[in-house]
Structure 1
Amino acid sequence: MSMNQAYKDTYLGEPAVFLKFGRYEAVLLPEVGANLIAFRDAENGYAFLHEPTQDEMESFKARPFIHGIPVLFPPNRFEDGKFPWNGRTLAFPVNEPETGNHLHGFVHSETFTVEDFGTTATESYVVAALKVDEQSDVYKYMPFRFTLRLRYAIGEQGLEQQFTVINDGEESLPCLYAFHTSVNAPFVPGNSAKDYRLKLTVGDRWHLNERMLPTGEFQPLSPNEQLMKGEGVYPFFEALDNHYTVRPQNGRNRMELTDTKAGLTLVYDAGTSYKQWMIWNNGATEGFFCPEPQISLVNAPNTELPADDIGLFSLAPGEIWQERARIYVK
Structure 2
Amino acid sequence: MTQQHAAIGDLYYGIPAIRLKFGRYEAVALPGNGANLISFRDNELGYSFLREPDADSIEAFKQSPSVYGIPFLYPPNRYEDGKFLWNGVTYELPINEEATHNHLHGFLHTVRWEVEDYGSGEQGSYVVMNQRVREGHPMFRYLPFTFTMKLTYSLDELGLHQRYVIHNEDNQPIPNLFAFHTAIRVPFVPDSSPEDYKIKVTIGQRRELTERLLATGQFQPLSPEEELLKTTGVSPYFASMDNHYTAAPQNGRNYMELTHSKTGATLVYDVGTAYKHWMIWNNKANKEFICPEPQMNMINAPNRPDLLAEDIGLIALAPGHIFETTSRLYCVTPNKSKS
Matched residue, 2:336: none
**Sequence identity (%):** 54
Distance in structure 1 (CA, Å) of the matches to 2:248 and 2:4: 40
Matched residue, 1:169: 170
Query: 1:59 offset after TM fit, Å?
Result: 2.2
> Residue 65 of structure 1 aligns to a residue in which SS?
helix
TM-score by length of 2: 0.96
Distance in structure 2 (CA, Å) of the matches to 1:305 and 1:74: 19
Question: 1:228-280: CA deviations, max 9, x gaps?
Answer: 00100000011000000000001000000000111110000011110000000
> Residue 37 of structure 1 aligns to a residue in which SS?
strand
Q: More deviation in 56-65 or 186-195?
A: 56-65
Distance in structure 1 (CA, Å) of the matches to 2:3 and 2:50: 26
Matched residue, 1:319: 321
The amino acid of 2:289's aligned partner reads: F
Which aligned pairs between 1:97-246 and structure 2 lie closer than 5 A? 97-246=98-247
Query: 1:2 offset after TM fit, Å?
Result: 5.3
* 1:23 aligns to 2:24 (yes or no): yes
Q: More deviation in 140-149 or 318-327?
A: 140-149
Q: More deviation in 117-126 or 1-10?
A: 1-10
Matched residue, 2:277: 276
Question: 1:5-27: CA deviations, max 9, x gaps?
Answer: 00001101100000000000000
Question: 1:187-246: CA deviations, max 9, x gaps?
Answer: 001001101000000000001111111111110000000000010000001100000000
State the Cα RMSD in Å: 0.8
Question: 1:33-73: CA deviations, max 9, x gaps?
Answer: 10000000011111000001122222212221110000000
Distance in structure 2 (CA, Å) of the matches to 1:194 and 1:129: 39
Matched residue, 1:305: 307
Matched residue, 2:331: 329
Matched residue, 1:252: 253
Distance in structure 1 (CA, Å) of the matches to 2:18 and 2:236: 31
How many residues of Structure 1 are paired with residues of Structure 2 in the alignment?
A: 330
> Residue 107 of structure 2 aligns to a residue in which SS?
coil
Matched residue, 1:53: 54
Q: Structure 1: state its 5+ residue gaps.
A: none
Asked if 1 retains the 8 angstrom alpha-carbon contact of 2:3 and 2:21, the reply is: no
Question: 1:117-144: CA deviations, max 9, x gaps?
Answer: 1112121111000101102111111211
Which ranges of 4 or more aligned residues in structure 1 deviate by more than 3 Å? none
The amino acid of 2:99's aligned partner reads: E
Q: Structure 2: state its 5+ residue gaps.
A: 333-339
Which aligned pairs between 1:65-80 and structure 2 lie closer than 5 A? 65-80=66-81
Question: 1:158-184: CA deviations, max 9, x gaps?
Answer: 000000011111111100000000001
The amino acid of 2:52's aligned partner reads: E
Distance in structure 1 (CA, Å) of the matches to 2:221 and 2:78: 23
The amino acid of 1:300's aligned partner reads: A
> Residue 96 of structure 1 aligns to a residue in which SS?
coil
The amino acid of 2:314's aligned partner reads: L
Which aligned pairs between 1:36-51 and structure 2 lie closer than 5 A? 36-51=37-52
Distance in structure 2 (CA, Å) of the matches to 1:159 and 1:110: 23
Distance in structure 1 (CA, Å) of the matches to 2:172 and 2:265: 47
The amino acid of 2:51's aligned partner reads: H
TM-score by length of 1: 0.99
The amino acid of 1:301's aligned partner reads: P
> Residue 138 of structure 1 aligns to a residue in which SS?
coil
> Residue 310 of structure 2 aligns to a residue in which SS?
helix
Question: 1:57-107: CA deviations, max 9, x gaps?
Answer: 222122211100000000000000000011110101111111111100010
